[in-house]
Amino acid sequence: LGKCLLSPIVLAAYAYNRSLSELGPGGRTDGEPGVLCQLFAFLMAFFGLAPTLLLLAMALECWLSLGHPYFYRRHLTRRLGATLGPAAAGLCALFCALPLLGFGVPMQYCPGTWCFMRMAGGGPRQLGFPVLYASLMGLLVLAIGACNVSSMRHLYGMARRQPRRGPPAAAAPRMEELDHLILLGLMTVLFTICSLPLIIRAYMGAFAADFNENADLSALRFLSVNSIVDPWVFIIFRTSVFRMFIRRVCRRL
């Protein structure tokens, strides 16, 4: 949804050879973001935070189902799962709308085809939101990493308890748990690598006054790469050929 909403705006800016502020109403003066730029900054912040919150919900669900199955069976229902998505989206929308209300400043970045919150060069009122945004992202990354590491520990323990010798049917559960273990590990590493650059840039801009638009653009690219790569990692890893290759590597090791 984020790619479908944001990509046409960028393509229109390139097609008309104009910046986002020039495309929409307002923002004709230097340094003033237009309405389209403000909307773009809101969508960038929202689609960076909302999937992270949903990933945390998924990591918590995985951790509870493996480590606390009785609590999971008793308290986690389908109705609760169905309400998590809209609740997470609503909370993220309210939080990311703070720059539109004056707490934080949307800013157009070079080359004029993308906008995000100002991460350097401003007072406490302008830089308070990116620091809060980065802190929240950092806490979510830590929580997701902790849940996934705990889930991997439970999966490893389950695999160790499976019989190592015997017919293929007896060894199948152990290999399935190892498949999930490797998949969780890969997605955790990718998510952490892609999320940390934005968090670091926000803190550097606020506390070290490091204004570098190219570095900010690279951090946003890392954040966008995560949402593109993660589904492909999941899809490719679930194929039978790739899983057979991983199993042969595990057996040799």
Encode burial over 204-234: b for 16+ CB neighbours within 10 A, e otherwise.
bbbeeebeeeebbbebbebbbebbebbeeee
Tens of pLDDT, residue by residue over 147-156, are: 888 887 877 7
Tens of pLDDT, residue by residue over 204-235, are: 777 766 677 777 788 888 877 877 777 777 77
Tens of pLDDT, residue by residue over 35-68, are: 777 888 888 888 878 888 887 888 888 888 887 8
Residue type, 153: R
CATH superfamily of 40-109+116-163+172-251: Rhodopsin 7-helix transmembrane proteins (1.20.1070.10)
Query: Where do the structural domains in the chain lie, given as residue ranges?
Result: 40-109+116-163+172-251
Residue 189 makes CB contacts below 8 A (sequence gap 6+) with none
CA 91/CA 32 separation, integer angstroms: 27
